[in-house]
Amino acid sequence: MDWRDRAMTMMDRLRFSLALLGIASLLPSLAGESPSLIPETVLSAARDYLATTDKEERDRLAALFHTSSFDPVQTVRALRPHPVTDVAPGYHKSEHFLVPELRKRHPDDLLYYVVPESYTAKQPVPLAVVMHGGAKGTERTMAHWYMRPDPKGSGLGKAFMDTGMIGVGPSAPISTKRWERWCLPEADDYLRDVIIEMQSRFNIDPDRVFLLGHSMGGFGAYQAVQVQPDRFAAVLVHAGSWYTAYWPVIRGTPLWVVHGVHDSEPGGRPHYTDIAFARLTGKLLTKQGIVHEVQEHQGQHSLPNGMPVIREFIARMPELRRDPFQPRAVVASPRGWRTGDMRDAPHNRWLSIVETTPGKLTYDTTKHEGAKQFWGMPRENWGDWALKHVRKERPGAMVDATNLGGNRFEATTHNVRRFAIWLHPRMVNFSKPVQVTVNGAPALEQRVQPSIVTALDSYERRRDWGLIYPAKIEVLVAVPVPGEEHH
């Protein structure tokens, strides 16, 4: 870098600092400012921070933000897309992704969505994401039947429009070998990208995003509520099933299960998605005090059989909101719908697992017992079947933390060396120290200050505009004494 480059860098720094201080000198407190008051110079630097992975460049930008007195949460929220164009109401089919990086990542994926008559870009609305059913050979246009609001559709599209919601049905990730495409590892980021795409088109309330899945999509809904429960205000499963779960992580995300009593039929459908899965789910969640509802109907596997009950749930969605600051949060890793598909999932709301230690965690699992199930099997195979619940230990780590109020937190950990608590003004008073007790012993007491950099980092870990935390503390867990039981 020659002297001219250095001079330009110094000039950029001066301009940036003046932008940071200009409005701050006029307003003594910007805690409640409108995002529109954040200067474009500051927002541009924030975008640059998120766009680069170069450590030196990030450090340079972080140093600039240290002089800022702008509210970190409002600064990050000002980066959120704010579509101002009203979209024609009705049904939009076979749409491709428009956000450039998403179009590049998903060039062949299609979106089918409905826009209610009441939609206006001035008013944030709820979003419902629908995962369609089918197997590995299911065509990319399958979501059309789910979302079309006419009498030839499933009924979902019309229900969303009648309720005043945006509803979108994406095509499932492609796989030539796996039928459970919504449970593939790439499905986690794909769902996130679908939400980001819809937020670029519509004024979506980030705290009112819902997920619905039927059949293969029901498997995916059980998967998603495990791996990313903090992304949704509620999750609805119809005619799905699961094989591995760590249910405490969904605390705070209502799970609605709708299932037909006659989902499996002698001489017809095997027990792959038997009503027993729904009943076991309800039993386990009731035992753990986790908010859920299980509604049975007298129909079979197809979605229209469950629509009368599903419509009742959809009607309740607009009034339900995600709480990013709920007093209790649980994070466990790995998570996934079955053992072979479990993956690292270190984040949940305001908790992150930073470093683990060797050890095992106890998961809930299901097991098919009796005769082998397959299409076209003898009728006697259908009768010789049962679903068994088994508690199994597998490598894993967990943090269960509670905000007690008064800047006090308590946590129970298992196989965790370090974890992070992300903080927001609605959780703590930043003028006082934060105290953390871990496994019954005092672990930390320190004062922490909000920053734009931390708020940007909190967005980046989930890419969710509703999960913004401007401060963070990392807690080091004491190493247990050899031979002493670790609780």
Task: Kindly report, residue by residue over 35-90, the tens digit of the pLDDT.
Answer: 558 889 899 999 999 999 999 999 999 988 887 778 999 999 999 998 988 899 99
E strand intervals along 178-240: 204-214, 234-238
DSSP 306-340: HHHHHHHHHHHGGG----TT-SEEEEEESB-SSGG
Nearest to 395 by CA among 347, 442, 333: 333
**What is the structure's pLDDT at 30?**
29
Domain boundaries, the chain: 3-77, 90-324, 396-476
Give the containing element (helix H, strand E) for 226.
helix 216-227
Q: Is the peptide bond before 334 cis (omega within 30 degrees of 0)?
A: yes
Q: Given this structure, which CATH class describes domain 90-324?
A: alpha beta
pTM for this prediction: 0.91
SS3 24: helix
Tokens of 367: 């097991």
Tokens of 420: 């992070």
**What is the structure's pLDDT at 65?**
87
**What is the structure's pLDDT at 482?**
57
Question: What is the rounded CA–CA span in Å between residue 198 and residue 458?
Answer: 21
Q: What are 366's strand-pairing partners?
A: 389
In the predicted model, residues of the chain with pLDDT beneath 50 are 1-33, 485-487
**What is the structure's pLDDT at 330?**
98
**What is the structure's pLDDT at 136?**
82
Question: What is the rounded CA–CA span in Å between residue 448 and residue 431?
Answer: 8
CA-angle at 392, arms to 389 and 395, nearest 5°: 150
Give the containing element (helix H, strand E) for 188.
helix 186-201
Q: Rounded to the nearest 5°, which phi and psi values hold at 318? A: -55, -25
